[in-house]
């Protein structure tokens, strides 16, 4: 207060912590400007004021508009319509955000509009043409085009009359209702699966699994009412990949016709545990349900939701049960991702991903014959390559369900890629690597198989030089990386990636 006395009014809509779930630290313009309170001193809401319009593009740099647009990125109606979204900045640099995909999805307002700020509810109580129209840039409020059957709005006075914070049902015109994530809607029952027990767990036997399926309120569901219920078996936990004599070394069986018992449903695997199996094996469960809401009305829609995956471990030879090593923390993935969910809502836990995305598996089953050599899908290799996206020197395309290509070369990672702890559990990203098996990497530089450390480091360091360096430091005795990059060595992984 220039005249003295206590400060009575501050602007605190979003706390830096919210941005830093994905960014290591919000800073810009060469790093000299740090934290949102600084940004908004210049990036002001001067919507109709030409001084805050980027002269080259006509795009405003009002924070409400710019940040919404940057993160809506590839999903902006204008971008989808063929008009790139960019801002010309310092030194006439063109900063194009047309390929940005925010892993939490832009309709997940709470990722940024968290509860920590003083005015945390501003996004629910202060709707405006600038803030809402930033993402919904196909709405012309002056003419009403694209807005509620052509309803024009000359100013912001009435927005909050109709767009209230929360209405009576999900998917209404209220701000929460309009942006609710279908999978989290209160209008669906969802599905939650649990494995109660596994019997016949010795080498040579066919495991018998007893499981339950309930909706989120705890009511029992029959398997036949779901779209999919499957049980996956893999082993041994020292490194999945060669435990079963199947393609990929694991098996997935449908349990939709499981028998009903008093304690739950029972399913007997067709696949037996091999007679010579040793150590610990694992069984994981996935389930998916489709429900229709607003049935029989114009708003009718179908929503698919998946059960949180459950994974259990058991000994096949009487030795002590040793769960598979935990390398990454799902909670850290979900700081950026809304909720990791792949393969049609079936799979959402890194514990189940690694059962199939093992060192031996590739996309051979889905890659059309005329698309060349298969691509590796080993979890570490694949996840490093996906997030390295735009920085890597190689093409990375995996063919998935329906023989559809998924290309990851445009992925822009919002954090520092050398901050291993954004994904990893402390102590799990060092050399020597705990993995036991070499990895199939038929499209790699070191091919057809690559040793564990060369694979892990090479997932991000994709240059020929780096691959050659890894190769010359590999002998018939194994990889020598730890000599120089080990935890106590002069070029330790922590030291070379210090930020």
Site for ligand HEC, residues 221 to 250, rule: CB under 6 A: 232
Residue 301 touching ligand HEC (CB under 6 A): no
How far apart CA 460 and CA 392 sit, in angstroms, is 7
Question: If we measure between CA atoms, which residue out of 19, 22, 17 comes closest to residue 387?
Answer: 22
Report the C-alpha gap between 381 and 456 in whole angstroms.
6
The encoded tokens of residue 283 equal 């069984």
Looking at 412, 425, 442, 486, which residue binds ligand HEC (CB under 6 A)?
412
* Cβ-based nearer residue to ligand HEC, 34 or 371: 34
DSSP string covering 222-251: -GGGSSEEEEEEE--TTSTTSSSSSGGGEE
Residues contacting residue 390 through CB under 8 Å, at least 6 positions apart: 409, 410, 411, 412, 413
- Tell me the closest approach of the beta carbon of residue 259 to ligand HEC, in angstroms: 23
Contact letters for ligand HEC, residues 367-386 (x by CB under 6 A):
----------x-xx--xx-x
Task: State the DSSP string of 466-497.
Answer: HHHHHHHTEETTEE-THHHHSTTSTT-HHHHT
Q: Does 327 bind ligand HEC (CB under 6 A)?
A: yes
CB of 264 or CB of 405, closer to ligand HEC: 405
Between 144 and 183, how does the x/- string for binding to ligand HEC read (CB under 6 A)? Answer: --xxx--x-x--x-xx-xxx---------x-x--xx----
Among the residues of 266-308, which ranges form H helices?
none
Q: Determine which residue in the list 79, 135, 226, 437 makes contact with ligand HEC, applying CB under 6 A.
A: 135
Gap between the Cα atoms of 454 and 379, Å rounded: 14
| Residue span binding ligand HEC (CB under 6 A) among the ranges 191-199, 312-320, 442-450, 459-467 | 459-467
- Rounded least distance, CB 426 to ligand HEC, Å: 12
Binding track over 423-442 against ligand HEC, x by CB under 6 A: xx---xx-x-xxx-------
Q: How far apart are CA 147 and CA 160, in angstroms?
A: 15
The residues that bridge with 328 in the sheet, in sequence order, are 424
How far is 96 from 386, CA to CA, in rounded Å? Answer: 20
Site string for ligand HEC, 466-485 (x = CB under 6 A): x--xx--xx----xxx-xxx
Residues 68-97 as x/- pattern, contact with ligand HEC by CB under 6 A: x-xxx--------------x-xx--x-x--
> Judged by CB under 6 A, which of 60, 123, 180, 305 binds ligand HEC?
123
Tell me how far apart the alpha carbons of residues 144 and 147 are, in angstroms, rounded to a whole number. 5
Q: What is the dihedral sign for C-alpha 50, 51, 52, 53?
A: positive
Residue nearest to ligand HEC (CB): 89
For the chain, helix, strand, coil in percent to 5 are 25, 20, 55
Per-residue binding string, ligand HEC, 34-63, x by CB under 6 A, is x-x-xxxxxx----------x------x-x
By CB under 6 A, is residue 220 in contact with ligand HEC? no
Contacting range for ligand HEC; rule: CB under 6 A; set: 199-207, 219-227, 274-282, 338-346: 338-346
């Amino acid at each position: 207060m220039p005249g003295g006395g206590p400060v009575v009014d501050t602007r605190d809509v979003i706390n830096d912590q919210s941005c830093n779930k994905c960014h290591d630290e919000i800073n810009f313009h060469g790093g000299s400007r740090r934290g949102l309170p600084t940004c908004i001193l210049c990036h002001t809401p001067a919507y109709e004021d030409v001084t805050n319009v980027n002269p080259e593009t006509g795009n405003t740099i009002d924070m409400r508009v710019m940040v919404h647009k940057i993160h809506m990125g590839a999903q902006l109606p204008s971008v989808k319509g063929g008009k790139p979204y960019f801002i010309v900045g310092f030194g006439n640099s063109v900063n194009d955000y047309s390929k940005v995909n925010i892993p939490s999805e832009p309709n997940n307002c709470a990722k940024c509009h968290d509860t920590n700020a003083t005015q945390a509810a501003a996004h629910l109580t202060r709707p405006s043409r600038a803030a809402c129209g930033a993402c919904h840039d196909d709405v012309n409020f002056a003419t009403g085009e694209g807005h509620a059957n052509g309803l024009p709005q000359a100013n912001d006075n009435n927005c909050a009359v109709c767009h209230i914070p929360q209405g009576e049902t999900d998917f209404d015109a209220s701000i929460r209702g309009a942006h609710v994530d279908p999978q989290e809607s209160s209008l669906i029952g969802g599905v939650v699966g649990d494995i109660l027990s596994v019997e016949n767990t010795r080498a040579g036997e066919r495991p018998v699994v007893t499981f339950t399926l309930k909706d989120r309120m705890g009511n029992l569901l029959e398997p036949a009412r779901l779209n999919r219920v499957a049980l996956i078996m893999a082993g041994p936990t020292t490194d999945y990949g060669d435990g079963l004599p199947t393609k990929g070394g694991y098996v997935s069986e449908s349990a939709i016709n499981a028998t009903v018992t008093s304690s739950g449903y029972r399913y007997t695997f067709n696949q037996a545990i091999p007679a010579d199996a040793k150590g610990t094996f694992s069984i994981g469960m996935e389930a998916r349900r489709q429900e229709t809401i607003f049935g029989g009305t114009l708003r009718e829609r179908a929503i698919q939701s998946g059960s949180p995956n459950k994974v259990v471990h058991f000994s096949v030879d009487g030795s002590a049960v040793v769960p598979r090593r935990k390398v990454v923390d799902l909670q850290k993935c979900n700081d950026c991702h809304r909720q990791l969910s792949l393969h049609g809502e079936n799979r959402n836990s890194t514990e189940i991903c690694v059962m199939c995305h093992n060192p031996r598996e590739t996309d051979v089953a889905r890659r059309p014959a005329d698309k060349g050599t298969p691509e590796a899908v080993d979890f570490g290799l694949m996840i490093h390559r996906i997030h390295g996206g735009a920085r890597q020197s190689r093409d990375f395309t995996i063919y998935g369900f329906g023989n559809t290509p998924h290309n990851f070369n445009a992925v822009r990672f919002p954090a520092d890629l050398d901050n291993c702890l954004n994904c990893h559990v402390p102590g799990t990203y060092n050399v020597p690597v705990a993995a036991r098996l070499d990895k199939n990497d038929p499209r790699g530089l070191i091919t057809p198989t690559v040793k564990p450390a060369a694979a892990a480091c090479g997932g991000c360091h994709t240059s020929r030089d780096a691959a050659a360096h890894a190769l010359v430091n590999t002998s018939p005795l194994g990889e020598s990386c730890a000599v120089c990059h080990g935890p106590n060595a002069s070029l330790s992984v922590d030291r070379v990636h210090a930020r």
